[in-house]
Amino acid sequence: MRDKTAFKAVDDDCYRALAATQIENPVVTPCSHSEQDWAAVQPLTLASIGQMEYWNLTLEEAVRITMAQSDVIRDLGGTVLRSPATVETYWNPAVVETNPRFGVDAALSAFDAQLTSSIFGAKNDRALNNEFFGGGTRLLSQDLLVQQTQIAKRSATGTQFAVRHYTDYDANNAPSNLFPSAWNTNFEVEARQPLLQGAGVEFNRIAGPSTTPGLYNGVLVARLNTDVELTDFEIAVRDLVSNVENAYWDLYFAYRDLDAKIAARDAALETWRRINALYVSSRRGGEAEKEAQAREQFYRFQEDVENALAGRLLGGTSVNNGSSGGTFRGGGGVQVAERRLRMLVGLPPSDGRLIRPADEPVSAPIRFDWQEITRESLVRRAELRRQRWLTRRFELEQIASRNYLLPRLDAVARQRWRGFGHDLIHSDSTGRDRFDNAYMDLVSGDFQEWQVGFELNMPIGFRQGAAAARNAELQLTRARAVLREQEHIVLHDAANAVAEFDRTVVVTQTAGRRLDAARHQLDAVEAAYDADKAPLDFVLEAQRRLAEAESSYYQAMAEYAVAIKNVHFAKGTLLDYDGIVLAESAWADKAYADAAERDRLRGRPRVLNYASARQPVVGGGAYDQQSLESNPLGLGMPVPTEPVATPPADPPTDVEPLPPVPLPVEPTLPDEPTMVQPMALLPTPEATRADVTDARAE
C-alpha cells in the first residue's frame, strides 16, 4: 500500500512549481484604438537621416493641442508609471466631489429622508409556569405578525423628525381574550431637537450628523475638499503648460545649436579641403601636421553635429528643477527635444515629420513692475489659494470642535394615536360595533398618548471633546504658519524670477556682442591667414570660438524667453499669459433658482451663543481670471516667423549628409563698449540691421 503522505508532498510541490509561481494577466476591456497603431511609425534617429518633412509648429498651437490631448496631466518625471494613483487627471475634481464617503453629495445625503420598514411573522408554542402570563393558560399557542414603517429626516438645524406606523396581529388561545385574534395599530410622530451639542446650522453643515469629536464630514468641509482638488488640478495644468513652453524653447535652442555646429563643421570642412589640396600637391602650408589638425577639427565638429541632431537622454528644462518655473537646461539635441515635446503635447513618438518651432523668442523690450508682481503673486499664486482653502477648512473645524465641549441635551416630544380591533380594516365601518377593526378605532382619536421630556448625555471630563478642540486649534495654527511661510517662498520665487529675467536681459546683449566680435575675429584671422600673416591654429581656434559664441547667443535668447514665462509662473498669471481659462461645468438652471430661493428664505435667525443657524462664508465668489487682452502689462506672443532652410556644404564622401535645418538670423546689436545696455536698445522683431546701423550713424 502506497503512502498517502508522499502523494500529498508531490502534489504540493507540483502546485508550487506550476501554479503558485505563475504570473497571471488581468482581463480588462480593450481601448477603443490600438496603441500599436498609435506608435506605428519608427522614431527618427541618426540611422534614418534623409530628406525630412518639417512641421512648423507655433507655441500657441502646441499649447492648444496639449489642452485637447491631456485627459491625464503628463510630466517629465514618469509619475504616471511610477505612481499612477497620484497622477492628476481631467476626472479628479469630479471623482473627489462624487466620493460616496467624503463628497458633497455624500455629505448632503445625511439630511435625506430615510424610509425603513420591516414585517415579521412568528409562531409561539410554549409551556408557562404561571398562567397569569399566558392569559389564563399554561400552554400558550400564539401566531404573531409585526409590521413597522418609519420615515425619518434630519434638518440643517440638527432636529430629527420621525413619523412611525406600527401594526401587530396576535392570535392565541388565552381564555381571557376579548377576541381570539386582534389587531393593534398606532401612528406616532416624534421631534428631537439638540439644545447644546449638535445644535445649529453652522455645526451641522461643518461636522454633519457625526457625534464623534474630530470627525468632520459636513457639506462645507466636503465643498472645501472639492475646491482644494480644483486648485490641485489648476496647478497640474499650469505645470504642464510651463513644461510645454520649456520643451518648446529647448527644441528651439536645439535647432539653433545644431545650426551653429553645422556652420562650424562646414567652415572646418572648407579649411580642411584647402589644407588637403596643399598637402596633396606638397606645397607650403600643406604640411602633414596641419592637414591632420584641420581634419581633427572637422571630425570634432562632425561629432558635435551628430550629437546635436540625435541628442542624449538628459533632463531638459522642467518645473522645479532649480526654479519653480524651470531653469533652462537645453542641449539635449533636436530629436530628443522633439520627442520630449511630443510626449508633453500628447502626440505619437513619431509621425514621419520633425517638429520645428515656428516662433522666435521675444526680443521686444519688456518691463515688470516689482510692486505689481508682489501683489499678484500673493493673490493669484495657486499654491497659496490651495493653502487658504485648507486654512479655511481648519477654521470651520475649529468652530465645530468647540461644540463638542457642550453636553448632549435633547428636547424630545412624541404624539401617538392608537387603534385596536378584531379585524384590521373594513371598507365600510358605518354602524359596526366598537373595536370591530383597528383602523376605525385609530381614526376615532379616542386613544391618544403624548410624551415630552429631555435627554442628557454628558461625559465626565470631556476628555475627547477637549482633545478634538485642541487638535483643531493646533491644525489651524499649523495651517496659518504654513500659509505664511508659503507666502515668503512665493515672494522669494518672484524675486528669483525677476532677477533671472534681468540677468538674461544683460547676458543676451553681452552674448550678442560676443557673437558679433567672434564673427569679426574669424574674418580677420582668415584674411591674415590668407595673407600668410597668421598660423592655422588661429583660424581653427576662431572657428571654435564662433561656434561657441553662436550657440551661447541662442541659448541666452532661449533663456530670455523662459525667463519671461517664469515671471508669469511666479506671479500666478501663466495661464492668462497663454490664453487658458479653466471653468467648471454649469449646474441646471433650477439648481441656481432653488439656491437663491433658499438663501432668501433663510433670513437672520435668532439663536443662542453656542450655535449658529447662518451658514458661514467659505469662499469669495468665482475666481476672476484675466484674459490675455486685458493683461495690464500688455504681453503677448510674438508674430511667428518662418525659419529659413539652407543645406550645408557638401562634406567628404565618408560623411553622411544631414537634413536641412534653419540657419540662425544674424543678430543686430549696438557697437557701444558699455557693459550693460538699456532694454530699449534691444532689436525688435521688425528691426533690420540697416535700421540699427542708420540709428547708430545718426
Concatenated DSSP letters of 283-300: -TT--HHHHHHHHHHHHH
Give the other-Cβ count within 10 Å of 48's Cβ.
11
Give the C-alpha separation, 293 to 223, whole Å.
72
Could you list the residue range(s) of the whole structural domain that residue 260 is in?
226-389+475-582+625-697
Residue 694: C-alpha distances to residues 513, 670, 677, 690, 691 (Å): 18, 11, 18, 6, 5
3-state DSSP assignment of residue 164:
strand
Enumerate residues 6+ apart whose C-beta is below 8 A from 240.
66, 70, 73, 74, 75, 344
- Bridge partners (DSSP) of residue 448 are 417
C-alpha cell at 78: 514618469
Is residue 662 pLDDT above 50, yes or no? no
pLDDT mean over 100-129: 91
Rounded CA separation 551/305 (Å): 12
In this structure, what are the phi and psi dihedrals at residue 136, rounded to the nearest 5 degrees? Answer: 105, 5
Contact (Cβ atoms closer than 8 angstroms) between residue 651 and residue 269:
yes
Q: Which of 366, 409, 433, 454 is nearest to 634 (CA)?
A: 366
**What grid cell was written down for 9?**
508532498
Residue 596 lies in a domain: no
pLDDT at 652 over 50: no
For residue 263, which phi and psi values (nearest 5 degrees)?
-60, -40
What value does the mean pLDDT take over residues 100-115?
A: 91
pLDDT tens sequence across 6-47: 545 555 666 665 666 677 778 777 665 555 567 778 888 888
Cα distance between the two ends of the chain: 117
Contact 272, 297 (CB under 8 A): yes
Give the per-residue pLDDT at 691: 35
Q: Which residue has the higher pLDDT, 369 or 622?
A: 369
Instruction: Give whole-number Cα distances, 199 to 204, 404, 567, 609, in Å.
Output: 7, 11, 49, 11
* pLDDT score, position 675: 31
SS3 labels along 44-88: CCHHHCCCCEEEEECHHHHHHHHHHCCCECCCCCCHHHHCHHHCC
The whole-number pLDDT of residue 209 equals 85
Contact 77, 239 (CB under 8 A): no
697 or 11, greater pLDDT: 11
For the purposes of burial, counting CB atoms within 10 Å of the CB of 613, is it exposed (0-12), middle (13-18) or buried (19 or more)? buried
Instruction: Provide the angle, in degrees to the nearest 10, between the axes of the packed helices 219-280 and 382-403.
Output: 160
Q: Which residue has the higher pLDDT, 681 or 129?
A: 129
Confidence bin at 85 (pLDDT 50/70/90): confident
Beta carbons of 312 and 556 less than 8 angstroms apart: no
- How many C-beta atoms surround the C-beta of residue 428 within 10 A? 7
- Distance, in Å, from the CA atom of 265 to the CA atom of 297, rounded to the nearest integer, reads 8
Distance between alpha carbon 425 and the CA centroid of its chain, in Å?
Answer: 63
Rounded CA gap, 72 and 75, in Å?
10
Separation between Cα atoms, residue 464 and residue 408, nearest integer Å: 14
Could you read off the pLDDT of 585-602 as tens digits, one per residue?
777 787 778 778 877 776
Distance separating alpha carbons of residues 510 and 673, to the nearest angstrom = 10
Residue among 373, 453, 376, 380 nearest 411 (CA): 453
Residue 177 has a CB neighbour count (10 Å cut-off) of 14
CA distances from 382 to 391, 524, 625 (A): 14, 55, 12
Closest to 277 in 3D by CA, of 269, 286, 264? 286
* CA distances, 287 to each of 69, 274, 284 (Å): 60, 12, 7
Give percent of the chain above pLDDT 90. Answer: 47
185: in domain? no
- Whether 609 shows a pLDDT value over 60: the answer reads no
Q: Is residue 571 part of a domain?
A: yes
Run of H or E including 172: strand 160-172
Confidence of residue 190 (pLDDT cuts 50, 70, 90): very high
Q: What is the pLDDT of residues 135-171, one digit of tens each?
A: 778 888 889 999 999 999 999 899 999 999 999 999 9
Phi, psi of 427 (to 5 degrees): -70, -30
Q: How many CB atoms lie within 10 A of CB 453?
A: 9
Confidence of residue 212 (pLDDT cuts 50, 70, 90): confident
Q: What is the pLDDT of residues 519-532, one digit of tens each?
A: 999 999 989 988 88
Question: Which of these, 460, 457, 552, lies nearest to 509 by C-alpha position?
Answer: 552
Assigned domain for 587 exists: no
User: Which of 262, 286, 293, 283 has its CA nearest to residue 540?
Assistant: 293
Evaluate whether 453 touches 476 at the Cβ level (below 8 Å): no
What value does the mean pLDDT take over residues 539-559? 92
* Mean pLDDT for all residues in the chain: 81
Q: How far is CA 538 from CA 515, 529, 534, in A?
A: 17, 8, 7
Q: Residue 226 in contact with residue 104, Cβ under 8 Å? A: yes
What pLDDT was estimated at residue 397?
Answer: 93
- Give the whole-number percent of the chain exceeding pLDDT 70: 82
Does residue 385 fall inside a structural domain? yes
Which of helix, strand or coil describes residue 415?
strand
CATH number of the domain encompassing residue 314 = 1.20.1600.10
Q: For 2, which DSSP code?
A: -
What's the maximum distance between 2 C-alpha atoms anywhere in the chain? Answer: 143
In a domain, 442, yes or no: no
* Helices and strands: H and E segment counts in the chain: 18, 10
Alpha-carbon distance of 255 to 335, in angstroms, equals 10
Q: HSE-up of 645 (CA within 13 Å, CB side)? A: 14
> What is the number of domains present in the chain?
1
pLDDT of 15 reads: 60
pLDDT of residue 645: 34
- CA 67 – CA 49 distance, rounded (Å): 32
Q: Is residue 272 part of a domain?
A: yes
Cβ neighbour number for residue 459 with a 10 Å cutoff: 12
Q: Per-residue pLDDT tens for 489-547?
A: 999 999 999 999 999 999 999 999 999 999 999 999 989 988 888 888 898 999 999 99
Beta bridge partners of 624: none
Name the one residue in this structure whose C-alpha cell is 497620484: 86
- Please tell me which residue, 29 or 296, carries the higher pLDDT value: 296
- Assigned domain for 541 exists: yes
Residues facing residue 190 across a β-bridge: 162, 414
CA-based R_g, the chain, Å? 41
Say which DSSP state 22 is in: P
As to burial, measured by CB atoms within 10 angstroms (0-12 exposed, 13-18 middle, 19+ buried), residue 118 is exposed
